[in-house]
């Protein structure tokens, strides 16, 4: 059994952007995104795609749409999978501004002591 676990980034104001993204999806899309996240939890980074630096992405598809969740590993043994940003993928490449946002959220999370 995997020791890895998902956590989602929370802003200083208490918003949880990835949770908000997932809950606004259709039921079918939500099931696919959650299944893809479970695959990464169970199988590690081999089930994800490296994007840049410490940022990886979970990839899911539903009804012809592509969905992504950007995340980083945290913890002494990299057992925490920190979900930083979720989005509908509309272009070939992951938008740079979303990667930058994920890096900014990771720095904020670390700056607040990983809370």
C-alpha distances (whole Å) from 45 to each of 1, 64, 73, 80, 89 are 16, 25, 9, 12, 20
What CATH number should be reported for the domain holding residue 104?
Answer: 3.30.2310
Q: Give Cβ neighbours of residue 36 (< 8 Å, ≥ 6 apart).
A: 47, 58, 59, 60, 69
Give me the chain's average pLDDT, please: 94
Which tens digit of pLDDT belongs to each residue from 90-104? 888 899 999 999 999
Domain count, the chain: 1
In the prediction, which pLDDT does 115 show? 58
Provide the residue range defining the domain that includes 73: 5-111
pLDDT at residue 23 is higher than 70:
yes
């Amino acid at each position: 059994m995997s020791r890895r676990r998902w956590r989602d980034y929370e802003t200083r104001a208490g918003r949880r952007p990835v949770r908000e993204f997932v809950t606004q999806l259709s039921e079918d899309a939500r099931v696919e995104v959650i299944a893809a996240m479970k695959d990464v939890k169970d199988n590690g980074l081999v089930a994800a795609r490296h994007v840049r630096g410490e940022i990886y992405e979970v990839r899911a598809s539903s009804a012809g749409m592509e969905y992504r969740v950007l995340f980083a590993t945290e913890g002494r043994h990299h057992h925490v999978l920190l979900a930083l940003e979720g989005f509908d993928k509309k272009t070939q490449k992951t938008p740079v501004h979303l990667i930058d946002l994920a890096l900014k959220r990771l720095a904020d999370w670390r700056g607040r002591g990983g809370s």
